[in-house]
Amino acid sequence: MHSINLKNISKTFVERTLRTRLGLRMPRVVNALNNVSLSIPSGKIFGLLGPNGAGKTTLIKILATLILPDKGEASICGYNLVDQPEKVRNIIGFVNSNERSFYWRLSGRQNLSFFASLWDLKNPKKTCRIEQLFDLVDLGEKADTQVMKYSSGQLQRLSLARALLPDPKILLMDEPTRSLDPVAASEIRKFAKTDLAGKRGKTIIWCTHNLEEAREVCDTLAIIHKGSVMATGSLKQMQSLIQEKSLYYLKIAIQSHNLLKKIGIPLSHIVQKNGMMEIELAKQEAYIPALLSHLIRQNIKIYACNRKDVPLESIFEKLVKRE
């Protein structure tokens, strides 16, 4: 089942500067999104991956009903983003990396109490919900500390707690680990994957330009470049887009080169060391079981057989260059 469906979403902006306002230059039209179509499954972390300026944040803001698309259709849990924005807002939580809307002189607890009131949460339910969220994001010791004294990681966790106040089905996370130290970023990623998506079944849109983060966190990905979707699917599906055959690493006991040549192993990719042969070969996945069976019948000892996945960096680079 898909929580979010987008069909041919487009958005353009007119870039205005002081020179255009003075009539010294014509305004430039920027195509932020160009016919974007996506179907995002429920209970998964879906990554929006692309360089800065690719259109990720524009798409997140459309999903958050902060801006309207110029054309196309979009729905979240069956609610139309344009015609039913209030219903959409009731089931989404938005986590922004550029958080500026907290009241810095108030404590974390006072901030959450204020935003809970905007969601029409009343005591004792409001107090209970706030305590639950402080425990959930591991900020209990900082609950009564002024927000101005929070670290970047603590502020990001407080932002996540605020997004979770109405217990939304959908979480929109726009570069949630930007500017965080490696430890704080790792904690946010682990919490999102194991707790929010894993235990609580939240659907999460994870917007990032960090390739390693996308590989670690996301179940499926969409690569966006210059406002268009270049590819979408799991990491394995994307690997198949740029490479028909998979790379495999074999480690076997040394045997006759002629035998290996007969069964189709290219000798140019063999390295001998420590009494072993290390072989790298590109083959279809269906070929590997037959190859291993043949080696076993020849009494050749197999010490390792691993598939070498194409790095996400290579997929991203090739898809963008193929553009």
pLDDT for position 294: 80
Q: Are 256 and 226 in a shared domain?
A: no
Cα atoms in the 13 Å half-sphere on the side-chain side of 93:
23
Q: Which residue has the higher pLDDT, 284 or 144?
A: 144
pLDDT for position 251: 84
% the chain with pLDDT above 70? 88
DSSP conformation letters of 43-75: TSEEEEE--TTSSHHHHHHHHTTSS--SEEEEE
Query: Does the pLDDT value for residue 46 go beyond 70?
Result: yes
* 211 assigned to some structural domain: yes
Of 64, 39, 47, 8, residue with least CA distance to 211: 47
CATH number for the domain that contains residue 173: 3.40.50.300
* Mean pLDDT of the chain, nearest integer: 84
- What whole-number distance in Å separates Cα of residue 240 and Cα of residue 246? 8
pLDDT for position 113: 95
CATH number for the domain that contains residue 314: 3.30.70.980
* 205 assigned to some structural domain: yes
pLDDT in tens, 118-149: 988 888 889 999 999 999 888 999 999 999 99
pLDDT for position 12: 92
Q: Are 32 and 59 in a shared domain?
A: yes
Residue-range definition of the domain harbouring residue 118: 100-160
The DSSP letter of residue 264 is T
In the chain, how many domains are there? Answer: 3
- What whole-number distance in Å separates Cα of residue 57 and Cα of residue 114? 27
Query: Does the pLDDT value for residue 223 go beyond 70?
Result: yes
Q: Are 178 and 75 in a shared domain?
A: yes
Query: Does the pLDDT value for residue 323 go beyond 60?
Result: no
Query: Does the pLDDT value for residue 283 go beyond 80?
Result: no
Torsion sign (Cα): 304, 309, 311, 314: positive
